[in-house]
Amino acid sequence: MKIHNTPAGRVFDVFNHIILLFIGLVTFLPFVYIVAGSFATESEVIERSFFIWPETFSLNAYQYIFSTTTFVRSIGVSVLVTIGGTIVSLFLTLTMAYPLSRKGLIGRNMLLNMIIFTMVFSGGMVPTYMVVRTLGLLDSLWALILPLAINPFYLIIVKNFFQMLPHELEESAKIDGCSEIGIFWRIILPLSKPVIATFTLFYAVFYWNDFFQALLYISDSSKWPVQLLLQQIMNVADTRLGGEVDTMFQETPAETLKLAVIVVATLPILLFYPFLQKHFAKGILIGSVKG
């Protein structure tokens, strides 16, 4: 008899559902407040500590955001960095993980130890800045991509995933005259869709949310990503976003502006996630079973 068919099992299931529903509400309500607050008036956000439905709808914050080219431009920078960075990171991660998954690779253990070393120790902020400056990447969008192009933890998981694939498929392909590149392109990658989808999401979220790299390496405000602009707005509530606003918005809706920028900055990832969700759990677990 299955446990959920017994009285104790049914009570346990009900208790689990209640707990999970409560945790879901606690997690979801803050985002509902942010969305509701972004459509509320400035006075309502200041006067009411929490609400999930505004008394008076107002689009002032969103009109303020899109009345200036600064925010739209920063969205474009973030989109460009996210797409370009995700492609570069996936390419480097996959092409490095595949040879490391081959046990016959000369120096494989040494390379793996070097990668694991970087998971514990880093070069430091100052040496990294000096490298970026020496390579002429300051005030370049490449400075937001190349310094952190490969995540060693992701690399290890992808390497483990490749090791778990049946070697018989590769042997059959070699008998048919397929090269190593052909095996990687025609056999390994098609079988790796779950892990590729998972780390596409991971890298995309990382590049979209990152502002610290831009804070270090980008002085030109026209190349700021949206997260750095958001960070500046959160630190200085009366930021004028370059002064490119209509006279009706000279009084910046400071509190609602913060909430509206959070909504706009978060929305693309929320829209992107459902398309990769079915691969997410499988992809993150399948490469971490054994090393």
- Give the per-residue pLDDT at 290: 46
Residue 65: pLDDT band with limits 50, 70, 90: confident
Q: What is the pLDDT of residues 137-193, one digit of tens each?
A: 899 999 999 988 999 999 998 998 888 888 787 778 788 778 888 888 888 888 888
Span 2-14, average pLDDT? 73
Q: What is the pLDDT of residues 244-287, one digit of tens each?
A: 433 434 455 677 877 888 888 788 777 777 766 666 555 555 54
- Give the per-residue pLDDT at 56: 83
Span 26-51, average pLDDT? 84
Span 107-111, average pLDDT? 89
At residue 240, does pLDDT exceed 60? no
Question: How far is 200 from 91, CA to CA, in rounded Å?
Answer: 10
Maximum mean pLDDT: which of 9-23, 80-94, 111-125, 192-206? 80-94
Say if CB 137 and CB 146 are below 8 A apart: yes
- Give this prediction's pTM: 0.77
